[in-house]
Copies of this chain bind each other. A is one copy, B any other.
């Protein structure tokens, strides 16, 4: 019984992560009853311009306002370390730490044969070029099947005597109780135990 245009907006919201039917209904109804049309039109314009205005860094493929992103163009960062991540959002997560001072390389996805995503769909040729001047490649893909597959593939491509290839550590989350760790995480924590 929702008006047609409202149904469409409910469907649009449902395409976003973590938004189910109920939440989508609530958001769409809020728009129509509580938000001024000027603000809705602004929102509409921002969406229309999103992909047009977003640039991708010529070097690391990170989303940016410039031709080369703020990180790649920062002379105070260590240009010999390149952390390879799946998505732009991983870079934002890492940058919140404020302790990593190397560069990044955004693959634009992970190898996933079940969905037909192979190395040719990822930014790997440009990575090869950048690694020529690097000392270390930190593989920071997630601990999923696809993350592991991509990590192994990158290692097989670029592991030579010149370049140090490292991977993010697996283990217990800091501050978490043993009993909340899943078995895989726990076995990784034992396997990768450090001298105390």
Which residues of A does B touch, CB under 8 Å?
1-6, 8-9, 12, 15-19, 23, 25-27, 29-33, 35, 37, 39-51, 53-55, 63-65, 70, 87-89, 92, 95
With beta carbons under 8 angstroms apart, the residue of B1, B33, B50, B65 that contacts A9 is B50
With beta carbons under 8 angstroms apart, the residue of B17, B32, B37 that contacts A27 is B17
CA distance A12 to B45 in the complex (A): 11
A-B contact pairs, 12 of them (CB 8 A): A1-B70, A2-B92, A3-B63, A4-B65, A6-B54, A8-B42, A9-B46, A12-B42, A16-B27, A29-B89, A29-B92, A44-B44
Given the known inter-chain contacts A1-B95, A3-B54, A26-B17, please indicate yes or no for A9 contacting B47, CB distance below 8 A. yes
Contacts of A44 in B (CB 8 A): 44-45, 47-48
Contact B1 A54 (CB under 8 A): no
CA distance A47 to B41 in the complex (A): 7
List the B residue with the shortest CB-CB distance to A8. B46
CA distance A89 to B65 in the complex (A): 40
Given the known inter-chain contacts A1-B92, A33-B89, A89-B29, please indicate yes or no for A6 contacting B63, CB distance below 8 A. yes
Contact B43 A5 (CB under 8 A): no
